[in-house]
Amino acid sequence: MKVFKKGEKTSIEWRFKERKRLMKPFIVNYKKPVIVHAIHDLKVFEKILIEEKLKLPEQHNSPKKCPLMEKFLGIDNSIYYSLGFVYSTAYDFKYNLIFDLNYLRDLIYYSESIIYRCYKAVIDYLDEHDYDYLQKLANTNKNTKRVIDKYYNKKYKGKTKMHFDFWEIEKETFDAIMNYPNKKELIKMIDERSKKFILKYPKSVESAKKDYLTEKIPEIIGRKENNLLRNPHFLGFYIKGKIPKKIAEIIKEKYPNKIIFDGRKIKGIRK
């Protein structure tokens, strides 16, 4: 999906260091990491601010990260959150809503990026047990060839087979799973993997306090509409770069008691 490609220009190492840097002021102030919902589009962000809520996907037409696996796992009508500023550092999402960690009480916490882990498990399985079928997927088109070549050849910490950019070829990969002769084995693997990483509150909070210091990218989802002004866990905003005049006016008018983070300092919002 186009909106998720910008971050490919930065290394995993840089993103991890930047996430830790951005989180540090919150660790100092709140003694714990924060949860973030990131928005890439200014018009969408403005609409959220005016309506004072994050709606579920069935109520709007914003693009989904990976609709096929989301629907398969039953999490397609969900709001996605991250532990810290994952999307800001990886994909340059400029508009971020910040929540206290105890909001995990109302959310589902996967200690790993669950959709990535599901797809990666399938690709690793095919690599080990059915190399020819994986090559058939690779030869589907130019994009599949490039992604599978990267899986085999790009190194991370001296190892290959560490990268699988599933979001670039999700349809082809999902179709390969559904058309696999032993499809039941792959579906069983996905089902087991999706359950393996779920942590319930308060274990999710305990894990998050450690996970933000690692290269893990937890998947956090909410199944209910998020009314910002009624949510006691909503802290405020992180907006990268210059704040548009209209956005600044809306924030001052509607959210005067929240915080604004500029990437270095946390400040209060004043009318």
pTM assigned to the model: 0.90
Q: What is d(CA 250, CA 236) in angstroms, rounded to the nearest whole number?
A: 13
What are the residue ranges spanned by the domains of the chain? 2-112+198-268, 114-196
pLDDT tens-place values along the chain, 271 residues long: 444 444 444 688 899 999 999 999 999 999 999 999 999 999 999 999 999 999 998 887 666 668 999 999 999 999 999 999 999 999 899 999 999 999 999 999 999 999 999 999 999 999 999 999 999 999 999 999 999 999 999 988 889 999 999 999 999 999 999 999 999 999 999 999 999 999 999 999 999 999 999 988 999 999 999 999 999 999 999 999 999 999 999 999 999 999 999 999 999 987 5
Q: List, edge to edge, every strand of the sheet that includes 219-222.
A: 198-199, 108-110, 219-222, 79-83, 35-39, 95-99, 234-239, 259-261, 266-268
pLDDT of res. 270: 74
Q: What is the DSSP letter of 179?
A: T
The SS3 assignment for 98 reads: strand
Give ∠ CA 40-7-96 in degrees, rounded to 5: 30
